[in-house]
């Protein structure tokens, strides 16, 4: 038995009952997949994740990578190498790839469902194994020779890095000083030092390919002057065999708080021998190209955070059900009252339900976001573009990454708190979860950067179109009557929360407008961008929990009457009728999918919900009720803070801090 506790039931609930992803399967570009196959994939990955992948989780933390400065090499523990090989040998990385690269062209929503299982079990495995995703980007962006390189990278299982950060520049990528010097043969020599490079050196694969941002000689300042270069650890011959060692070396490995088995390296380019690279796509368009990879990485980080919270919560839940301590609060004065499991104590239940609501609500956030990636994928396969899907995906990405990382870390402290003093011990995995999860709010853009991105790029630059669409979908749910009035209070809370978020945005727009005449007013925006990010995230989580409760109530009603084709089929029909935001088809199609749900054990085959399902669906309703009653009301206070923000804090002298 390993540390990892998955929630496959909830992943499938989101994919096939809430978001009706089955309607994408069986036709182009997903003609090779059907619901049974998709469920089978998830089940197989779940078994792999819960066993061989999770087995080395603790050992990788206790025995981190060993750096040899004399040879610039990094050795990883054999236990982790075994887990990594188990994942690579199963070739689930092919889900990421188009058929031209030997892939399955799976829907993005299914890919992120799979990703959660791996990231929850042993996140560094998914990160080292990202070669397929990076090769896909190189295939889309690269020259003919680089496309061939991408094929070699997939076939030979090379691992990638994204190389942006420099010690002096930090998150200010445009301040980077690494330079690129063009050579007579058309290659480039890269010179400089990069820091915080995930997987920059290791012994898991025969080659590592670095995608590096550098400034060509004579290029302008800032991010617009950066270009992206392909710089492999070993140069590659035309037949894919390895050539001589390239001039890029690890010159340090960081000693970190957590996620230790992921080797975070300092890389030095061009010291001693040239670091030879090629210009990606033959064009100087580095920041746009790199953002294709950054956006994938941000989605991954949010999914990782949420996956870690989920297993943290489920570990805490198991402990709370088995740890006997004290009597019930109602019998506190009776010293002879029987001792009970701590799940009977009110504050423990409060902590558990808050963890559950965020874990399940943020999982829905990831997969809901992925539905817009599905829509963009479908449009691309048809030779068109879905501008709305692209814009809403762009809007939600900083929320997935920012809210996911912040709330997961916060909730994991409650997972540990549930265990009391035992949670502080390495006997349980939660202390490692917390250490591993802290990085999620830091790398691939800190939470502050996500907040700035959300407001200035995804709301202001988009003229509020994507946000208006999202708020419109939320208000549609708030105004409907699904549930025969049983969700009336939850819908009212949702409407109030949406109004509060909209008012926050309106106030910030006002400050932005005032800054045109009084530049210092922009600070009133900057003091609230993270607040807006978290408020919008909580609103979307609350909305998705209410939508889940709608589906659950229909399933419970179907189970109670014994009619229809099983609870999952009825729930699928409900989701189909209400899932226009995710691009799902009609409720009839959702209802028709009940057989697949029944086949998976999610529901009875014609007799309504089973005992386990009844509890599952009841939990969905309870989570929505708890979140709308205890979390969404906080948005009113956030609104008041935003609307009354002054610049006093910015006027305070540094010495006063």
Return the active site residues: 444
CA distance 587 to 578: 8
Kindly write down the DSSP assignment for every residue of 11-36, as one continuous string. HHIIIIIIS-GGGGTTSTTSTT--HH
CA distance 588 to 202: 52
Torsion-angle region of 20 (φ positive above 0: left; ψ -120 to 50: alpha; else: beta): left
In the block, which residue shows the tokens 């190209």? 289
312 and 411 Cβ atoms separated by less than 8 Å: yes
59 and 260 Cβ atoms separated by less than 8 Å: no
DSSP H helical ranges for 331-446: 346-381, 387-418, 430-437
180 and 216 Cβ atoms separated by less than 8 Å: yes
CA distance 548 to 362: 12
Kindly write down the DSSP assignment for every residue of 507-540, as one continuous string. HHHHHHHHTTTSGGGHHHHHTTHHHHHHHHHHHH
For residue 619, count other CB atoms closer than 10 A to its CB.
18
CA distance 266 to 201: 9
CA distance 42 to 57: 21
Structure tokens at 491: 């819908």
Kindly write down the DSSP assignment for every residue of 222-271, as one continuous string. SGGG-EEEEEESEEE-TTS-EEEEPSEEEEEE---SS-TTS-EEEEEESS
The four Cα atoms 584, 585, 589, 594 give a dihedral, to 10 degrees, of: 10
What residues contact 234, with CB distance under 8 A and at least 6 apart?
206, 207, 242, 243, 244, 245, 246
CA distance 424 to 433: 11
For 455-515, the three-class secondary structure string (H helix, E strand, C coil) is: HHHHHHCCCCHHHHHHHHHHHHHHHCCCCCCCCHHHHHHHHHHHHHHHHHHHHHHHHHHHC
If DSSP codes are grouped into helix, strand and coil, which group holds residue 425? coil
What residues contact 267, with CB distance under 8 A and at least 6 apart?
161, 163, 193, 194, 195, 197, 200, 201, 210, 248, 249, 250, 251
CA dist list (Å): 159 to 44, 84, 154, 215: 23, 12, 9, 24
Classify residue 100 by its DSSP letter: G
142 and 113 Cβ atoms separated by less than 8 Å: no
Q: Which helix (H) or strand (E) holds 549?
A: helix 529-561
Phi/psi for 433 (5° steps) reads -55, -45
Cα Rg of the chain (Å, integer): 25
């Amino acid at each position: 038995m390993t540390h990892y506790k998955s929630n496959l039931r909830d992943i499938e609930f989101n994919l096939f009952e809430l978001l009706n992803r089955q309607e994408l399967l069986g036709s182009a570009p997903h003609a090779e997949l059907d619901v049974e196959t998709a469920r089978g994939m998830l089940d197989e990955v779940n078994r792999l994740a819960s066993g061989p992948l999770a087995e080395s989780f603790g050992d990788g933390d206790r025995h981190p990578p060993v750096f040899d400065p004399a040879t610039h090499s990094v050795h990883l523990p054999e236990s982790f190498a075994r887990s990594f090989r188990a994942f690579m040998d199963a070739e689930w990385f092919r889900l990421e790839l188009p058929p031209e690269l030997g892939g399955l062209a799976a829907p993005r929503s299914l890919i992120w469902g799979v990703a959660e299982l791996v990231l929850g079990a042993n996140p560094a495995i998914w990160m080292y194994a990202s070669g397929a995703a990076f090769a896909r980007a190189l295939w889309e962006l690269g020259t003919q020779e680089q496309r061939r390189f991408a094929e070699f990278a997939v076939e030979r299982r090379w691992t990638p890095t994204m190389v942006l950060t420099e010690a002096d520049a930090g998150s200010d990528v445009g301040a980077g000083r690494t330079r690129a010097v063009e050579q007579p043969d058309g290659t480039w020599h890269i010179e400089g030092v990069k820091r915080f490079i995930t997987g920059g050196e290791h012994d898991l694969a025969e080659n590592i390919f670095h995608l590096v941002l550098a400034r060509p000689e004579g290029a302008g300042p800032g991010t617009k002057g950066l270009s992206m270069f392909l710089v492999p650890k070993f140069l590659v011959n035309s037949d894919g065999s390895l050539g001589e060692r390239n001039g890029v070396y690890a010159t340090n490995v960081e000693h970190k708080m957590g996620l230790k088995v992921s080797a975070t390296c300092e890389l030095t380019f061009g010291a001693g021998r040239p670091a030879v690279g090629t210009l990606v796509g033959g064009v100087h368009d580095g920041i746009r190209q790199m953002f294709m990879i950054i956006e994938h990485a941000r989605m991954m980080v949010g999914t990782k955070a949420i996956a870690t919270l989920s297993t943290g919560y489920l570990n805490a839940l198991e402990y709370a059900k088995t740890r006997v301590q004290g009597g019930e609060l109602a019998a506190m004065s009776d010293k002879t009252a029987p001792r009970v499991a701590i799940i009977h104590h009110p504050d423990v239940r409060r902590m558990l339900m808050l963890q559950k609501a965020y874990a399940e609500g943020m999982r829905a956030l990831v997969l809901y976001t992925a539905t817009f990636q599905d829509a963009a994928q479908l449009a691309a396969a048809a030779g068109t573009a879905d501008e709305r899907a692209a814009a809403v995906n762009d809007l939600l990405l900083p929320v997935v990454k920012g809210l996911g990382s912040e709330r997961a870390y916060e909730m994991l402290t409650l997972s540990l708190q549930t265990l009391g003093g035992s949670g502080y011990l390495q006997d349980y995995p939660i202390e490692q979860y917390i250490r591993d999860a802290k990085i999620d709010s830091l790398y691939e853009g800190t939470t502050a950067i996500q907040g700035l991105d959300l407001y200035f790029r995804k709301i202001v630059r988009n003229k509020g179109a994507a946000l208006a669409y999202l708020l419109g979908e939320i208000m549609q749910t708030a105004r409907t009557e699904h549930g025969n009035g049983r969700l009336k209070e939850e819908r009212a809370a949702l409407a109030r929360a949406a109004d509060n978020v909209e008012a926050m945005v309106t106030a910030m727009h006002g400050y932005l407008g005032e800054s045109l005449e009084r530049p210092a007013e922009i600070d009133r925006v900057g003091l609230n961008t993270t607040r807006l990010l978290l408020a919008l995230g909580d609103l979307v989580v609350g909305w998705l929990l209410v939508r889940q409760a709608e589906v659950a109530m229909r399933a419970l009603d179907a189970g109670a009457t014994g009619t229809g084709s099983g609870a999952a089929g009825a729930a699928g029909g409900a989701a189909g009728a209400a899932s226009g935001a995710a691009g799902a088809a009609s409720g009839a199609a959702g209802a028709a999918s009940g057989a697949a749900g029944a086949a998976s054990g999610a529901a009875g085959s014609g007799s309504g919900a089973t005992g386990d399902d009844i509890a599952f669906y009841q939990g969905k309703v309870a989570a929505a009720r708890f979140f709308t009653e205890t979390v969404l009301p906080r948005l009113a206070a956030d609104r008041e803070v935003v609307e009354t923000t002054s610049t006093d804090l910015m006027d305070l002298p540094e010495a006063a801090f």
